[in-house]
A and B are shown apart, each in its own frame.
Chain A
Amino acid sequence: MFYREAGQFKTSYTADMSVFPILQDRVGLAIILIVAVAIIPFFGSGFLLQAVMTPFLVFALATIGLNLLTGYTGLLSLGTGAFMGVGAYACYKLTTYFPDVNLIVWIIVSGFFSAAVGVLFGLPSLRIKGFYLAVATLAAQFFLSWCFIRQPWFYNYNVSGAIEVPTRTLFGIPITGATSSDATRYFIVLGFVIAMTWLASNLVHGRIGRMWMAVRDMDLAAELIGIRLLRTKLLAFAISSFYCGVAGALMVFMWYGSAEPSVFDVNLSFYILFMVIIGGLGSLTGSFFGAALIYILPILLRYVPAEFGMPIQSSTVEHIQYMVIGALIVFFLIVEPAGLARLWQVGKQKLRVWPFPY
């Protein structure tokens, strides 16, 4: 009823091919942005900002990164955690060596470090495919984790062996460390996520994105129509790792505040992969859905028993939560293997003709 495109005429090819061709979609996006920018930071509690939204956005960014690689280019990677770690450690090294340069610059630069490492470990992808490649990327995961633990240079020979986030300012306002406000850090993460989502959207809708998808659908055929496989695959690794690197830097600097190497272990890689698959392979919207379902749902589940006043031990809640999440993953996969993004599309399609389907 509300979601109708009747009366909206496209007069040019560009308009027809735009990312959000329907007015309601654009309005919806605008409202989400307004809520994210103007409502949540001012009315949300510290818990909402610091324990829900900031982590959610960081994970969404990393999920977009992995989605570019796995969803769009079809290269399965289990090294996400390590690439995020490269970003975080690079940012830490840079900001401790050059404390005067603004941290925002270093966060972006650390993405390039991560991209370089990603390209290096992406090299075998030309020869190795599918699950074999996934396990090969595990080599990156374990090797880099080992570096963060065993090579003290990475953590500046700290006694604690962890990296700690120094206080840095932007226009005189602290943006990291304990003195910065939850809202400031949320804004920075949000800014990165919006800018990089926009960038990713342009990438995947453009020439590069089409090359990626051609490679994903059949790399041999793609090669025959003149796509240079090595370059395309490495570009995917580079850009994907760039996103993961920035997400990793944001994770430590804007959320954790200090990180042990174990933060970037293989479980993080799996965690991000969950988000990609549940959200929908090859969908940017899906990346947000996936991150929300995997990260926020457990938090909600924690409070369900408390809300109903059930006196259950916290550990029992945790156990049941594990079972529920496991069952939900299988359930969602059965209902819609193409992920939540597909579910969302089907829903929109139904809405278009609601309440009078054919």
Chain B
Amino acid sequence: MDLLYKVFLDPFVQMGTAPDLLVQTLWDGLVAGVLYSLIALGFVLIFKASGVFNFAQGIMVVFAALTLVGLHEKGVPAYLALAITLAVMFGLAVGVERLMLRPLVNQPDIILFMATFGLTYFLIGFGELVFGGNPKVMIASELGLPKGAVDINFAGGFVSLQKIDIAAAIIASLMVAALAVFFQKTRIGRALRAVADSHKAALSVGISLNQIWVIVWFAAGVVALATGIMWGARSEVSFALQIIALKALPVLILGGFTSIPGAIVGGLIIGIGEKVGEFYWGPLLGSGIETWLAYVIALVFLLFRPQGLFGEKIIERI
């Protein structure tokens, strides 16, 4: 009885008695969710266009942020460093396309997946070799990102909104909107969707696969840079950041590997779900449940929709 109370009633009582904490939890979940979505977005872009499950997205986040901060440390002004970092990410996209994707064209998915592991290793070594492995402080203020927090008094308590988090939410929405327009309205976007549907058909109507790949990998690089800046500003830029990228995986299965809205909605569900779960139900189980809660949420969804919330329906033929 006591247990039932603790599971089914007590959390809601807590929500009712301290609404400020509930709002704060929801907000923190939302912000985490936005950042998960951004990482997932990078995955989705690449998976859609090239069918590659890009494990290296996490390290691309670190690498982009590290390049930015590392360049600034070496005396390059912030905005110039940003531009150079974008150029580096473009170079990376070209390199990946030339040296990795092109020779591996038409290989099974798992081989391409494995190749991105190779890329991960390479980027870890390269990043540490050039910029050193020590953690760095994100140059948020130099980039014109806001600092500090807005405290809103609310229901006897306060809700603290970090300005950087608000900025993250805005930038993420802008980015998603821009990508949506890009995909729907531009020529390249249409070509991209054609490639996603069928490589062969796209090739036969004269779409250059190689060009498309460079574009999506670059787009994923830009998304990675944005993620890196935001998450770096929340803590610091270090190789430990890479672990967070794994959180994008449940987001992906929830949203579906090929759906951009899926990545966003999935990210928000996972972000809010795990924070609320951890805060209100975690103590019952000995806390720390957010490490696996996201996966279990995703697993439950999967049992009902094996292709994810927004994924394309899987049709099997013999």
Contacts and interface: CB of A to CB of B under 8 A. Distances in A.
Direct A–B contact present (CB less than 8 angstroms): yes
Interface of A: 76, 124, 127-132, 135-136, 138-139, 142-143, 145-146, 149-151, 218, 220-221, 224, 266, 270, 274, 277-278, 281, 315-316, 318-330, 333-334, 337
Number of chain B interface residues as a range:
35 or more
B108 A143 contact: no
11 contacts: A135-B250, A136-B302, A146-B288, A220-B316, A318-B125, A323-B121, A328-B118, A329-B121, A330-B115, A333-B111, A333-B114
Given A281-B110, A315-B133, A316-B129, A326 B122 contact: yes
Contacts of A325: 118, 121, 125
B259 interface: no
A8 to B, nearest CB: 35
Given A128-B306, A132-B306, A146 B289 contact: yes
Interface in B109-128: 109-111, 113-115, 117-126, 128
B295 A327 contact: no
Contacts, number: 139
A270 B245 CA distance: 14
Contacts of A330: 99-100, 115, 118-119, 122
A142 B115 contact: no
Contacts of B133: 315
Contacts of A127: 302-303, 306
Shortest Cβ-Cβ A-B pairs, 3 listed: A322-B125, A326-B122, A326-B121
Given A277-B111, A322-B124, A333-B114, A131 B104 contact: no
B26 interface: no
Interface in B266-317: 285-289, 291-292, 295-296, 298-299, 302-303, 306-308, 314, 316
A221 B317 CA distance: 9
Given A146-B291, A316-B129, A333-B118, A139 B298 contact: yes
A124 B316 CA distance: 18
Given A266-B246, A334-B104, A322 B253 contact: no
A18 B237 CA distance: 56
B118 A327 contact: yes
A326 B250 CA distance: 26
B107 interface: yes
Contacts of B291: 142, 145-146
B210 to A, nearest CB: 16
A142 B287 CA distance: 14
Given A323-B122, A330-B118, A131 B295 contact: no
A107 B104 CA distance: 42
A146 B286 CA distance: 10
B220 to A, nearest CB: 17
B252 interface: yes
Interface of B: 53, 99-100, 103-104, 107-111, 113-115, 117-126, 128-129, 133, 246, 249-250, 252-253, 257, 285-289, 291-292, 295-296, 298-299, 302-303, 306-308, 314, 316, 318
Contact of A323 (B114, B126, B288, B298): B126
A320 B125 contact: yes
Given A220-B318, A281-B110, A136 B104 contact: no
A277 B316 CA distance: 26
Nearest to A223: B318
Contacts of B104: 333-334, 337
Contacts of A142: 291-292, 295
Question: For chain B, what secondary structure do more than half of its interface residues adopt (helix, strand, loop), or is it mixed?
Answer: helix
B103 A151 contact: no
Nearest to B251: A135
Nearest to A123: B303
Given A146-B288, A151-B286, A277-B110, A135 B117 contact: no
Contacts of B129: 316, 319-320, 323
Contacts of B120: 326
B123 A326 contact: yes
A150 B292 contact: no
Contacts of B122: 322-323, 326-327, 330
A129 B285 CA distance: 30
Contact of A129 (B108, B123, B288, B306): B306
Given A124-B303, A318-B125, 18 more contacts: A76-B110, A124-B302, A131-B109, A138-B250, A146-B288, A146-B289, A150-B285, A277-B114, A319-B126, A320-B125, A320-B129, A323-B129, A325-B121, A326-B123, A329-B117, A333-B104, A333-B111, A333-B114
Contacts of B121: 322-323, 325-326, 329
Contact of B295 (A143, A315, A318): A143
Contacts of A324: 125
A39 B286 CA distance: 51
Contact of B125 (A130, A221, A321, A333): A321
Given A139-B296, A143-B295, A277-B111, A132 B288 contact: no
A189 to B, nearest CB: 27
A329 B295 contact: no
B302 A128 contact: yes
Given A128-B302, A143-B295, A330-B100, A278 B114 contact: yes
A287 to B, nearest CB: 15
B125 A132 contact: no
Nearest to A319: B129
A136 B253 contact: yes
B153 to A, nearest CB: 36
Nearest to A76: B110
Given A124-B303, A329-B117, A130 B318 contact: no
Nearest to B114: A277
A139 B303 contact: no
B58 to A, nearest CB: 12
Given A322-B124, A322-B125, A323-B125, A274 B250 contact: no
Contacts of A320: 125, 129
Contact of B107 (A76, A151, A321, A337): A337
